[in-house]
Amino acid sequence: MGMDKLKWNFHSLEQLHYAVNSTLRYAMQNERCKRWSKVIETYNLLLWMIDLKNLPDDYEPPSMYNMLLYETYYHVGVAYQHVGDHRKASEAYTNAINTVSIPKNGCLAGCVINSCLMTPLYARRAFTYIRLGEIKSALKDAEKAVVLDSKNPDVYCIRALTKSSSDNEGAAIKDVELALKLKQGHMCSLMLRSALTKPLADSNAETESCATVTNFRHPRIMEFYDKYLFTLCVPHTIVQINLTPDKPNKKQQTEAQKEGTHGNLKQRPASAPDSISVEPFKCGTSCKEFDKMVTRRRKDYGEAIRKHISRPKTATPWKGDKLPVAEVNRHVLAPCWK
């Protein structure tokens, strides 16, 4: 789908929320069905809809916006890898890395603060660089993944696969041994060690098996990665998109200050556009439609409490729906007198 042929014509956040949430659900459905071409098309549409270039100039995105971009870029990158487009996949992972990168204060060289969110991105991008023939870049990303999460044996498997892809099986075996020292019985490390130490004639006989994966060029590497390196996969933490700003923008604050009549009082921040706001009310006034049920429940609860703690002063309230007084004396008082 060409994004240049589409027109961004949403008139409210409600319309945008409906569209982006429907698109996200459709993308996740396609992921489960492994329709990777549809996944790519749908996620690219989602990225186009939430692009800040299409939103108003004074719009300030909420705090979850960067995490939404991070997850979307990651999953579209995985989809590109499944269809064999590793160039587009590496670009998607780079965009995800830039999304969660925090510039260092005072650094003029453009240095950024690394984050644990980057670990799965560096691991995936090392994979794509190997398939693109960029060995040095792949080794650099694999090393970054190890530095960011040195206690995770999976990152050593990534570095082992990267080194093995550059025809350095000896160094790959050392990384596998390091992973096994961190966690004995680590499944991915055991499988890599078995495949790396297996004679070449035996491994060629089972080329289409995950048990023979030794590098990122293996035909079953995608299945191997998803199955045995799942700690380096990014889950969907955002399944409901809400782009309502966390706070009013400068324009809304200025308008609120102009409308205020008491300059010495603090003005209440303007509510987010298209959000539900509650108007001030006075005690004793009639409530709105959506508050009637709450009021009725409170009234019923109060009546139930009053009935529970009340005691009849005469026998009159007991007539009709309770036992007669004579029956009460016979069933209740008589046993006490015996």
Instruction: Identify which of 255, 233, 238 has the alpha carbon closest to the alpha carbon of residue 63.
Output: 238
Q: State CA 21 to chain mean position distance.
A: 13
Residue-level pLDDT at 277: 42
Instruction: Identify which of 14, 78, 23 has the alpha carbon closest to the alpha carbon of residue 48.
Output: 23
The crossing angle, in degrees rounded to 10, of helices 65-82 and 13-33 is: 30
* For the ranges 57-61, 139-143, 334-338, the one whose mean pLDDT is highest: 139-143
Residue that is written with structure tokens 């045995």 in the block = 228
* For the ranges 75-79, 197-201, 211-215, 318-322, the one whose mean pLDDT is highest: 75-79
End-to-end Cα separation, the chain, in angstroms: 92
Residue-level pLDDT at 1: 52
User: pLDDT digit string (tens) for 84-122?
Assistant: 999 999 999 999 999 988 777 666 666 667 778 899 999
Instruction: Identify which of 216, 127, 139 has the alpha carbon closest to the alpha carbon of residue 171.
Output: 139
User: pLDDT digit string (tens) for 157-210?
Assistant: 999 999 999 999 999 999 999 999 999 999 999 999 999 998 664 555 456 788
- What would the mean pLDDT of 68-87 be, rounded to a whole number? 97
Q: Are 103 and 57 in contact (CB under 8 A)?
A: no
What residue ranges do the domains of the chain occupy? 8-232
How many angstroms separate the CA atoms of 148 and 137, rounded? Answer: 17
The strand pairing partners of 113, in sequence order, are 102
Within 10 A of 277 (CB to CB), how many other CB atoms are there? 8
- CATH H-level, domain 8-232: superfamily: Tetratricopeptide repeat domain (1.25.40.10)
Element (H, E) at 107: none
pLDDT band at 261 (very low <50, low <70, confident <90, very high): very low
Sign of the alpha-carbon torsion through 295, 299, 304, 305: positive
The residue that leads in pLDDT, 8 or 211, is 211
Residue-level pLDDT at 174: 96
Max Cα distance, the chain (Å): 102
Instruction: Identify which of 151, 205, 212 has the alpha carbon closest to the alpha carbon of residue 178.
Output: 151
* pLDDT over 70 (residue 241): yes
The residue that leads in pLDDT, 229 or 201, is 229
User: pLDDT digit string (tens) for 264-311?
Assistant: 333 333 334 444 344 443 334 444 554 566 566 666 666 666 666 565
Residue-level pLDDT at 328: 45
Residue-level pLDDT at 130: 97
